[in-house]
Structure 1
Amino acid sequence: MGHDLVPSAVHARSNAAPAQLALTDRERVISYEELDIRARRLARRLRELGAGRDVLVGVALDRSAEFVVAALGALYAGAAYVPLDCQYPAERIAFMLQDAAPAVVVSDARLAARLPRGAWPTLMIDVADGGDALAAEAVGADSTASSLAYVIYTSGSTGRPKGVEVTHGNLTNLVRWHHRAFGVTAEDRASQLSSPGFDAAVWEVWPYLASGASVHFADDQSRLDPGRLRDWLLERRITVGFVPTPVAERLLALEWPSEAPLRVLLTGADTLHRHPPAGLPFTLVNNYGPTEAAVVTTSGAIASADAGESRPTIGKPIDNVDVHIVDEHLRPVATGMVGELCVGGAGVARGYRNRPELTAARFVPDPFSARPGARLYRTGDRARRLPDGDIAFLGRVDGQLKVRGFRIEPDEIVAALDADPAVVASAVAVHDDGAGDRRLVAYVVPAPDMVPLPSMLRERLKTTLPEYMIPAVFVRLDTLPLTANGKVDRDALPAPDTADVLRDEPVTAPRTPVEQRLALIVASLLDTSAVGVNDNFFLLGGHSLLGTQLIARVRDAFGVDLPLRALFDHPTVEALAAEVERAILSRIEAAA
């Protein structure tokens, strides 16, 4: 990247190759010239509304090419963008807007109707990027390496999301390392799968646009289904792509053609449990990094399964980033010893928006740097450095959880559960089924003479929490296990068991051969001892990735090919068994 900051680098690519493909999704194909012109027009309008250095611009748009146009418009205006995922509950979006205090929010007519009213004007993107491009402000305006590029909100332990302020210097370091590490050129075709509010989306876009490559947005059906995703990656001739760890692990188990265009599969955001099989046509690269350190802190290629049985590492620090493994007094521990992973160097973000005390606690003076004002970010993650310099990730120091790539503060869920009058006390933990699938489990102590229904608890939580923070299973306990000092003993929380899992209806045993076999398949997938015909697959802890496995096992067991949509429309054993029987009957009639 020959230009100092990302917006100027993207603008330079537009001047160098205006007709080159920049972005494509299901609805649009956008060249670098069109991207640049529309972003410059939008930037001019944003500047008129007060956008500028360290001023925030909210972007309330779906995961799409239009989102990138809006984000680049904010950067061209010299401002920072704040992704607002409109799938979040209205209360959460309202808090984020009040806390961020954007000068303006860019949206469209459909999504703007979901936004709460406030002091900020709402600018419709299809209107805002019209007009005379030649009158646009200079690209990047007065941005510098120390000014903000974006703010992303993550889960907060107090029940409030916290906004992480990331600078242009942080972002530029990520982009430059990415270009060098993976040899990105204008010929590359990158995938985009992550939701806008997840910091991996930053990584999926800017390194490629700054190098003249193209970014391709996967449709929602493909990004959730490993088989479809593989086919989409091949069809779109993707050469470099990021896939969250749980999906990546299933992609690795699929067959790949030797001539696949994909050369690098990036993964991260959760623990990688196994090495890739030998013979894959691409390199698997595992990555680690908190939002507070600009997406990626460490990275490393993972050798094939025959290289050893140990769990894959998270690699080594990226360019200009320092990783220190320390004890509780910030003193380095010896190689091989366990300590807290702390991050220094060019990736360390400015801090948390409007949270000076929390910023001071987590972003501390860097005792290992001679640079004045250098800071160290305390991740709260446990790790150890191996003799070859690689780092082994060992989980959290505190109670923070990670499920399918999302970082979750359990206290935020507990606060929402405890507000329900049917709940006296609650706790949240992650249950690992032993096959690498991690599920969020809520443990509730019901109020006297009350039996909380999981559907009602789930609906209550959905009013304040995003979908990824909704527990997969609710387990009833008489009391919560406590440690000697009176804190909830999460290590003593039991694994979900059929007898204790809350249900909306009593268990009804399977009655037909199809129901019986289907119930066994569901029980095996969900690691439970028994499943009734009225049990909802998703209320028992199922999700889309497990759903694809269920559909595959149905195909093997009954010889019928049901779409994943059938499971969403018919999530109980009884209803899905009826769909299987209909499919079997149709196959017999067709053969007659």
Structure 2
Amino acid sequence: MLQLVHARDEVQDRWVAILLFHHMALDHTALEVVQHEMQAHLMGEAGQLAEAVPYRNYVAQARLGMSEQEHEVFFRQMLGGIEEPTLPFGLAQVQGDGRGIEEVTVAVDDAVGRGLRSQARRLGVSAASLIHLAWARVMALACGQEHVVFGTVLMGRMQGGDGADRALGMFINTLPICVSVGEQSVDEAVKATHARLTGMLAHEHASLALAQRCSGVAAPTPLFSALLNYRHSATQVTEALLSAWSGMQMLSSEERTNYPLTMNVDDLGDGFSLTALVESRIGAQRICDYLQVALRSLFEALEQAPQTPVQSLPVLPQAERRQLLETWNASPATYPHDALIHGHVEA
């Protein structure tokens, strides 16, 4: 589940290592805990580290929490009316092994990022709620539906008890969230998405299998095939940290899920970064571009016309829109304008 493999690189006169781990051992928060402990050893401060927090504490906390019946009531209320799966671009294989996945990371435009945070404060919601709504808009166009369902990654530590922020083990949970992207205004849609997200926090330990059974989509058809992982990734780089890791560098990192379409959104404190993990035939850059446009159009609508229907928010970049409407429609043939289309077909 967790191993560090290292070897001597004689050609470049260096040591190289790779840290391999499964999410059952480490999640995003736990990886930071491990890095902090490694840093303490490098700085000769290992003796100052706090006692390790047993994972069994979290297991007990989770088992003593909400009952399955309470989880079922919540998810039936949210998913009971969903009878069609949300499968963007027809991607239906949710038991993949991570192969054939393309990865692209882009930064969200600084002005858009600041604007989204400003609008979130105005509405009294989290920035994550705006990101979820923009992603829902992308999903709606990718599968032609108004009510979309996608997986959202929950931290699992909010109800985890004392010291859960320092424990290693399986905490994160993927659960379905349903977002309506229809005629309601962007203001209303943001508030509704925020209410749904905050409501889910009390159910962060629910079983994914239980949640999926609460929809009208019969197994083995997957309820959804896309994932949104919003995570806080702000790191404060200090002189001590730079000193501890002096002489070492990160060559690369890679993570994969079983889903064919994953969007990781890193909240960096001041800005945002998007990392798309998508089947190569769809294109990771393309998905990043869609979300970038959706975020910008959501921000502009909230700022200038908050009554704008959320279903009218643009998603296509100008280049792709031009290709669809103009380039692929450029035909040298001329047709009479006084005949009906069935007449053309008959002729």
TM-score, structure 1 as length reference: 0.19
Structure with the largest fraction of helix? 2
* Structure 1 or 2: more strand by fraction: 1
Structure number with larger C-alpha Rg: 1
With normalisation by structure 2, the TM-score equals 0.29
